[in-house]
Structure 1
Amino acid sequence: MAELNTSENSKGNTRSKNKALRVDLTAMVDLAFLLITFFILTTTLQEPKTMDLAMPVDGPETGIPSSRTLTILIGADSKASWYMGEADKPIKGPLVVALDKQGIRKVLLEQSALIKKQQGKDLIVLIKPSKQSIYGNVVGIMDELNITNNHIRAIADISPADVAILKKDKIYN
């Protein structure tokens, strides 16, 4: 039991004797624990931020038309290199761009409009993060794809030819 005791008046005064004051603190301690328990149970903890990612089912390999494929190679220092077509014979690029709205968003909007105008179909975007890239850059590109309404996308493994492009562009250490 929690209690608060004070000592008697011991000054040698014989006229008045003060009795010891005793306050029982059990109720206050119980109340404090009840309040702590209430606030712990009623507060919401921070929800983890997740992004839904639909991955294709394994099956027969279908050909991806390289004429409407944009490949983004994520390198170091929040920079990326992009090209249209295939790595060994690109239709356009490779060009280095920053991972912001003036860089990658502009490329996505321009190339998407160009493919839509030329072929009447949507742009296919392949994202290939390197060992030098960070997770936030991949999420940033996925956000840019959502902003620019490019819904056909895939995250793929980077090939040695793609790493050679990043090294040539000096965004792979």
Structure 2
Amino acid sequence: MSTRIDMTPMVDLAFLLLTFFMLTTTFARPYQMELNMPVKSKVDTPVRESTAMTILLGKGHRVHYFFGLNTPKGTVAAAPELHTTNFTATGIRQAVRRRQQQGPVIVLIKSSPNAKYQDLVDILDEMNRTHQQQYALVKITQDDLTLLNRATL
């Protein structure tokens, strides 16, 4: 006489447990930052120089920033003082927070041709970490490139 074990109840139990855990488990949601873009307007919204902070993304994962706007050539205003930092907690994050303590600020983010896509992602993360409400991705001008080239020399 041989003994025969009926495995049907154990297989049923295994499938019931598998189904239970599959239906009750929450899957990992992808980490993403919500970015709300405004409706494109035909009229440019002016930014006051007193509330502006311009961030230039350069090569080598370097971040350059200055306070105010870079005035175009032909004006009597002097070129702004360009500061260079990085993406660490004591870098651009601290500079943005110091500027926020002085009052409302609008951050203009300009990416140079030498900047990497990761730099843009990192600066958007910094805007999220510092709870900066008003910021804009702006095309870099020739005056900004000239200022950036003078700083890297």
Report the TM-score when normalising by structure 2: 0.73
What is the identity percentage for the equivalent residue pairs of Structure 1 and Structure 2? 31
Quote the offset at 1:125 in angstroms. Answer: 0.5
Q: After the TM superposition, which of the residue ranges 48-57 and 30-39 deviates more from structure 2?
A: 48-57
In structure 1, the residue matched to 2:96 is: 108
Distance in 2 (CA, whole Å) between partners of 1:21 and 1:167 is: 86
- Quote the Cα distance in structure 1 between the aligned partners of 2:36 and 2:80: 28
Find the counterpart in structure 2 of residue 157 from structure 1. Answer: 139
Task: Look up the match of 2:36.
Answer: 54
How far apart are 1:157 and its partner, in Å?
3.5
CA contact (8 A) 1:68 1:123 kept: yes
Name 2:128's counterpart in structure 1. Answer: 143
Q: Which amino acid is 1:82 matched to?
A: Y
Partner of 2:19: helix, strand, or coil? helix
What amino acid is the match of 1:97? T
CA RMSD of aligned residues (A): 2.7
Richer in strand (by share)? 1
Question: What is the CA–CA distance in structure 1 between the aligned matches of 2:59 and 2:16, rounded to whole Å?
Answer: 52
Give 1:10-49 correspondences, 5 Å limit.
19-49=1-31
In structure 1, C-alpha distance between the alignment counterparts of 2:100 and 2:61, rounded to whole Å: 22
Shift of 1:80: 0.3
Structure 1 CA distance, aligned partners of 2:133 and 2:91? Answer: 19
Distance 1:141 1:158, change over 3 A: farther
Q: Which runs of 5+ in 2 are unaligned?
A: none
Specify whether residues 21 and 62 from structure 1 end up closer, same or farther in structure 2 by C-alpha distance, changes over 3 A only: same
Residues 43-83 of structure 1 show CA distances to partners (whole Å, capped at 9, x for unaligned) of 11001223232322222222222343111122344420112
CA separation in 1, counterparts of 2:91 and 2:32? 25
Q: Which runs of 5+ in 1 are unaligned?
A: 1-18, 117-121
User: Which amino acid letter does the alignment assign opposite residue 107 of structure 1?
Assistant: A
User: Which SS does the other structure have where 2:81 is aligned?
Assistant: strand
What secondary structure, in the 3-state scheme, does the structure 2 residue paired with 1:32 have?
helix
TM-score (norm 1): 0.66
